[in-house]
Amino acid sequence: MFKILISPAKSMDFETKIDIDKATKPLFLDQAKKINEVLKKKSPKKLMELMGISDKLAELNWTRNQEWTSLNTKVNSKQAVFAFTGDVYVGLDVNSLNQNQLEILQDKLRILSGLYGILKPLDLIQPYRLEMGSSLKIGTNKDLYQYWKKNVTSELNNELTENDFLINLASNEYFKVIDKKLLKVKEIITPEFKDYKNGELKMIGFFAKKARGLMVRYIIENNINTIEALKGFDYEEYTFDDALSTSDKLVFTR
């Protein structure tokens, strides 16, 4: 058995209503609240510098920080996997999953987050922007990696056994929050997706991100439970390349 890790997305949708009643509570709300307390004190100009964003985005996220609360309701929040709308989530296309598939997703998938640490798909979250790589000091912690590493690694260990695999579909920026030395798993498997362009095989950002979401969907739709079965991924014309792959890196090309 295994768990799957993905990154969050900068783009979010809290306007579109969804007809999903089930919702869960993020595990590390107290820790998220401490981060928010730091963010609330930052002016739009400081947020602009911290995140490298425009004036308009800085104003938007300043407002979000002021309005954020650790009390999540279905009025001020939305389930995480439905709230994020980036390329990975386009590939996943959660809105077309049925109820049974959504339950499998809730069990298998975990989303890493700069604000919440780690999320289950149906955890209620509020609008925010905070990348894991942000140089944000929280108390005695020099950055978010130091702040989250112990808790996120410990939670994964609570959910995994030494006979389980971890499927890493997160970006390097987010996966770095995990202490791999302390992670109790049989192996970490990292799929990679490459496209032929102008006669060369390259990892193209948009396509690679979308393919990560497609891979999650493939696992859920086909109830994949082994690494060998994972190699059968063939969505949108990707195929497993044995020659380019290793025991812990599965390369898919098209």
What is the pLDDT tens value at each position of the chain, 254 positions in all?
Answer: 789 999 999 999 999 999 898 999 999 999 999 999 999 999 999 999 999 999 999 999 999 999 999 998 888 999 999 999 999 999 999 999 999 999 999 999 999 999 999 999 999 999 999 999 999 999 999 999 999 999 999 999 999 988 999 999 999 999 999 999 999 999 999 999 999 988 899 999 999 999 999 999 999 999 998 999 999 999 999 999 999 999 999 999 99
- What pLDDT is stored for residue 216 in this prediction? 98
Tell me the three state secondary structure of residue 53: coil
At CB < 8 A and 24+ separation, what contacts does 223-227 make? 223/104, 225/1, 225/2, 227/165, 227/189
The pTM of the full predicted model, rounded to 2 decimals, is: 0.96
Give Cα 24 to chain centroid, integer Å: 16
In the chain, what are the domain boundaries?
A: 2-13+22-253
Question: What is 145-175 written as a DSSP string?
Answer: HHHHHHHHHHHHHHH--TT-EEEE-S-HHHH
Q: How many Cβ atoms are within 10 Å of 135's Cβ, its own excluded?
A: 10
- What pLDDT is stored for residue 93 in this prediction? 96
